[in-house]
Amino acid sequence: MSSESEVIDQYVEQEYKWGFYTDVEADTLPPGLDENVIRHISAKKEEPEWLLEWRLKAFRHWQTMKEPCWPQAKYEPIDYQAISYYSAPGAKDKDRPKSLDEVDPKLLETYDKLGVPLHERERLAGVAVDAVFDSVSVGTTHQEELAKHGVIFCSFSEAVRDHPELIQKYLGSVVPYTDNFFATLNSAVFSDGSFVYIPKGVRCPLELSTYFRINAAETGQFERTLIVADEGSHVSYLEGCTAPMRDENQLHAAVVELVALGDAEIKYSTVQNWYPGDEDGNGGIYNFVTKRGVCRGARSKISWTQVETGSAITWKYPSVILRGEESVGEFYSVALANLAQQADTGTKMIHLGKNTRSTIISKGISAGKGQNSYRGLVQMGKNATGARNFTQCDSLLIGSRCGAHTFPYIEVKNPTAKVEHEATTSKIGEDQIFYCNARGIETQDAVNMIVNGFCKEVFSELPMEFAMEAQALMDVSLEGSVG
């Protein structure tokens, strides 16, 4: 009998619809990294002295560090001197556009094509967008409306200029510049990103969202996002990302820091669709990201939801430090590794406070020659009396050349803390596909249906506007995957 693999292994070709390149004039630094590059970036952004000092400290520390080699991923060593660390659309001598009206129409067109229109007329209802193009933010929508509620939502550069006290207070407070190789590199060279501050007691009236686009060749993207939710406030934030198709790999090393004060709630969702490379593993983004939140106050809550369909290699472990009593951490993840993609992702839930709770739901899908690893740490500190964690970790295999791996780490220092872990691995069988066929359903639709069924617990955590999009994205990412 022709084996399942024969039917299903043709699960590899895929078209990446976001792979176009926008031809705009750009102010790009030549490749290479030294203190001068860092001074240059800082000067471009007219940063205060303390921030330059912070960057330089990070850079000096980075030079003493070694690239980590523990993740379940194989790749050629990265030449950090061959990367350009800054690229901004627009000529060198031109000022940054003051409002969206002044933004280069070509850039606006790019975002239209990506389905994230920035113009007033066509903007997504109920969603404010910060659009980051290579190293800089090109504009942020709905700022006036948000300001009415005291909500600050702007590019990181603007925040440094307009709200230096908040930046100085919180920058590096969750992910210190010494944290890890990629976070330290980011601290030295970060270019732009988004900043959010929600004042006490405010429920942010709009979904906030940042759309990251890598465009320039041979550049890295090092953005930094900082979200601070003051006491009793509430915010839902979403990031999306795409990049052109290129044969060489590009590095994306971002840092995201979340701070939730007492009774505050932050919901952070990611739909990551960086270019994944081809089926032989050529090209694609290296997505090496540090995301961490701290529940500082009692009863605060941080919830990460991620749908990871892109990138050649993904390492990311959005984590929550549960410091406040009764604070809650959640992690909902769908990670797809198709083609020759390698995904090593998971979370860390660090329980410090009493009666803290965390939930981890991870759904890994492996297809083609994809390798998918879940890596998760649940730590119950000695003061975490009555803390609880529930982890569910499911893997779905499509075809026989892919792999799924699970690395759960559990450390319990308080005898009253409870940790539960469940894991399953299943495979889309040829018999399931045939059964669908025998009911008139085409193979590709059958696979999509099964995969979406597998993911629905996580999709249902996404803000409504994006749940459909995530499902559609998953369908496209699996396209041509079955012969």
Q: How far is the C-alpha of 257 from the C-alpha of 269, rounded, in Å? A: 13
**Residue 475 in contact with another protein, rule: CB under 8 A:** no
Query: Judged by CB, which is closer to another protein: 416, or 426?
Result: 426
Q: What backbone torsions phi and psi does residue 40 show, to the nearest 5 degrees?
A: -65, -45
Judged by CB under 8 A, the stretch of 34-42, 158-166, 178-186, 451-459 that binds another protein is: 451-459
Q: Could you tell me if 389 and 422 are in contact, meaning their C-beta atoms sit under 8 angstroms apart?
A: no
Give the 3-state DSSP-derived string for 64-89, with helices as H, strands as E and coil as C: CCCCCCCCCCCCCCCCCCCCECCEEE
Of the candidates 200, 456, 463, 465, which one interacts with another protein according to CB under 8 A?
A: 456
Of the candidates 7, 24, 56, 166, which one interacts with another protein according to CB under 8 A?
A: 7
Q: Kind and range of the H or E element at 186?
A: helix 181-189
Degrees to nearest 5, angle at CA 259 with 254 and 263:
150
Of the candidates 5, 453, 460, 468, which one interacts with another protein according to CB under 8 A?
A: 453
Q: How far is the C-alpha of 395 from the C-alpha of 336, rounded, in Å? A: 10
Query: Judged by CB, which is closer to another protein: 63, or 460?
Result: 460
Here the tokens at position 131 are 């659009």
**Residue 5 in contact with another protein, rule: CB under 8 A:** no
Query: Judged by CB, which is closer to another protein: 51, or 436?
Result: 436
Q: Could you say which DSSP state residue 221 is in?
A: B
Give the length of the chain. 483
Q: Could you tell me if 215 and 133 are in contact, meaning their C-beta atoms sit under 8 angstroms apart?
A: yes
Judged by CB under 8 A, the stretch of 2-10, 143-151, 278-286, 311-319 that binds another protein is: 2-10
**Residue 398 in contact with another protein, rule: CB under 8 A:** no
Q: Which x/- pattern, by CB under 8 A, does the window 407-436 give for another protein?
A: -------------------x--xxxx-xxx
Q: Which of 231, 255, 227, 222 is nearest to 170 (CA)?
A: 227
Query: Judged by CB, which is closer to another protein: 56, or 436?
Result: 436
Q: How far is the C-alpha of 256 from the C-alpha of 308, rounded, in Å? A: 16
Q: How far is the C-alpha of 124 from the C-alpha of 103, rounded, in Å? A: 18
Applying the rule CB under 8 A, the residues between 218 and 257 that interact with another protein are none
**Residue 454 in contact with another protein, rule: CB under 8 A:** yes
**Residue 480 in contact with another protein, rule: CB under 8 A:** no
Query: Judged by CB, which is closer to another protein: 181, or 434?
Result: 434
Q: Which x/- pattern, by CB under 8 A, does the window 314-343 give for another protein?
A: ------------------------------
Query: Judged by CB, which is closer to another protein: 6, or 15?
Result: 6
Query: Judged by CB, which is closer to another protein: 317, or 332?
Result: 332
**Residue 450 in contact with another protein, rule: CB under 8 A:** yes
User: Nearest approach, Cβ of 302 to another protein (angstroms)?
Assistant: 27
User: Nearest approach, Cβ of 403 to another protein (angstroms)?
Assistant: 21
DSSP secondary structure string, 28-64?
EPPS--SHHHHHHHHHHTT--HHHHHHHHHHHHHHTT
- How many alpha carbons lie under 13 Å from residue 375 in its C-beta half-sphere? 15
Query: Judged by CB, which is closer to another protein: 154, or 365?
Result: 365
Where along the sequence are the contacts to another protein (CB under 8 A)?
1-2, 6-7, 426, 429-432, 434-443, 445, 449-450, 453-454, 456
